[in-house]
Amino acid sequence: MAPTLSICLTDYFHHLLILIISTLFLLFLVKSFRNFKSKSKYPPTPPPFPIIGHIHLLKSGLPTSFQSLARIYGPIMQIRVGAANFVVASDAKSAQQILRTFDADFASKFQPGPTNYHIYEDSSFVNAPYGAYWRFMKKLCMTKLFTGSQLDRFNGIREQETSKLLKSLLNKSKAGEPCDLAAEVTELTNNMIYRMAMGRRCSNYPNQAAKIRRFITDSMKYAAKFHFGEVFGPLKKFDLFGNGKRLKLTLKGYDQMIEQIMKDYQDNDLETSENDDEKDVMDILLESYKDTNAEVKLTRDQIKNFFMELFMAGVDTTAAAIRWAIAELINHPNIFKILREELDSVVGNNRLIKESDVPKLPYLQAVVKETLRLHPPGPLLRRVPNKDSKINGFDLKKGTRVFINVYMIMRDPNCYKEPEKFMPERFLGNSTEMKGQDFHYLPFGSGRRACPGASHAMFVMHATIGALTQCFNWKVKEPEKVDTEAAGTGYSGAFAVPLLCYPNTRFYPFQE
């Protein structure tokens, strides 16, 4: 009896397996027939593994992995990361079509990961779909928050925080101590953003900038953790490793802190000057929040999330660019020497560089441009079409998640001689703009979604890199060069190990 039952079960599972395989094969044929019938031409794709897709091919950072695959499969290709499908565009022609020709069709971004544990899930400005709220916030940024006059007004804050950084480094130089340059410049940019954002009342909250920084850092860490649901779609609602819960707790702590600051502003709003020159970002946003005639009624969550995105976008990216520039200058002493000679010639050696000096310092500008070319703050731009589209001869369905690999575009050997080399000279006498009009050069994106804070970032980078070159000779321990190959190529461009440098004072810019 038992052997007979075993044989029956074996036959059952054998026929079931045949049925499953036949069904899958039939579905494949139907899909192939539909694609053939529709005459659609979809981007090529590497052979995927079942379930995981192409995860096994993404062995380094996404930008460099996409670069390696694009050399095989072309400038437009499909990539599947578990349950998530993407199209990757890796050449200037495709970028121009997405960011200019069909900019209106690609004006929205896709969410970079699961959002069900983010307490501000529907309040993002950076990731908001193209619509009334996004247009209102972009207009607010360009007409009130990041205008030329507003940035000029914040010049004093930038100078004061740069002086604090230099004094800290001068003390380390005097003591013969190394500095963690990444930590130093991150504190610089964090303090600048904090004072610009809510500086009118920052004296009421000692160490508040550092506390906000910790909340932002922790939330980014938990959000960036590998989420199982991105590979196995049906498991997306389960927080298998507890990172979703940690993210939510961190965001609640941040929420309580910002809520208290907002209440303090509102309780003392009679003290707010009517003069726009005395208002910080919090003042401007709360004015819009209270404005009953505003085009869009802001919520408190939208304001809180805006500040979170302001810190995320304005702190790490600018700090990363500065430390990349110093690392490249350490590795290229001849370039460091040329830059210093220009600074000595134009600025002199009896005062510190000012932002007003920058237009007269073409080599400094070239150093910054070359740093951003090799180490873009956002190596992958995200877009999603609002209708079926055709890019570079390939069909993209509505809702397709698209990456534009800026990292690869700005290392294209067809556009740049010896693209892997740090050569600022390539930008001398070159009219390449920072604002995305040249689609071979996109450090801040382009089109409607171009970075609204690019001008502030450029002010900070030029002045800080110039000051660090003026004031110090830089050394690192053995080996004598910074290992840039070991550095990451993710969104923050973080080094694999801390960038420990020895600042040796060459010029003391402060009166005793």
Integer Cα distance of 423 and 223 in angstroms: 36
Scanning 239-361, the segments in alpha helix (DSSP H) are 243-267, 281-290, 300-311, 317-331, 333-346
Judging by beta carbons within 10 Å of its beta carbon (0-12, 13-18, 19+), is residue 478 exposed, middle or buried?
exposed
Q: Once rounded to an integer, what is the mean pLDDT over residues 40-58? A: 91
Q: Does the pLDDT at position 408 exceed 80?
A: yes
Q: Does the pLDDT at position 117 exceed 80?
A: no
Check residue 31 and give its pLDDT. Answer: 58
- Phi, psi (degrees; rounded to nearest 5) at 408: -75, -40
Residue 49 is classified by DSSP as B
- pTM of the entire predicted model: 0.88
CB 181, CB 499: distance < 8 Å: yes
- Cβ atoms within 10 Å of 492's Cβ, excluding its own: 19
Q: Which residues are annotated as a binding site for heme?
A: 451
List, as one string, the DSSP characters of 174-204: HHT--EEHHHHHHHHHHHHHHHHHHGGGGGG
CB 283, CB 272: distance < 8 Å: yes
- Domains parsed from the chain with CATH numbers: 55-505 (1.10.630.10)
**Cβ contacts of 509 within 8 Å, gap of 6 or more:** 166, 351, 352, 467, 470, 471
Q: Once rounded to an integer, what is the mean pLDDT over residues 432-440? A: 75
Check residue 245 and give its pLDDT. Answer: 86
Mean model confidence pLDDT for the chain = 87
CB 235, CB 229: distance < 8 Å: yes
Check residue 493 and give its pLDDT. Answer: 60
Check residue 47 and give its pLDDT. Answer: 94
Among 180-184, 232-236, 266-270, 318-322, the range scoring the smallest mean pLDDT is 232-236
Check residue 503 and give its pLDDT. Answer: 95
Check residue 10 and give its pLDDT. Answer: 57
Closest CA to 186 of 314, 329, 377: 314
Q: Does the pLDDT at position 491 exceed 50?
A: no
Q: Which residues are annotated as a binding site?
A: 451
Among 53-57, 63-67, 376-380, 483-487, the range scoring the smallest mean pLDDT is 483-487
Band (2; pLDDT cuts 50, 70, 90): very low
Q: Once rounded to an integer, what is the mean pLDDT over residues 311-324? A: 93
Check residue 271 and give its pLDDT. Answer: 54
Q: Once rounded to an integer, what is the mean pLDDT over residues 20-28? A: 65
Check residue 227 and give its pLDDT. Answer: 59
Integer Cα distance of 138 and 443 in angstroms: 19
Q: Once rounded to an integer, what is the mean pLDDT over residues 90-113? A: 94
**Cβ contacts of 473 within 8 Å, gap of 6 or more:** 503, 504, 506
Integer Cα distance of 318 and 332 in angstroms: 21
Q: What is the pLDDT of residues 153-205, one digit of tens each?
A: 999 999 999 999 999 999 999 999 999 999 999 999 999 999 999 876 665 56
Judging by beta carbons within 10 Å of its beta carbon (0-12, 13-18, 19+), is residue 58 exposed, middle or buried?
middle
Q: pLDDT: is 412 or 483 the higher one?
A: 412
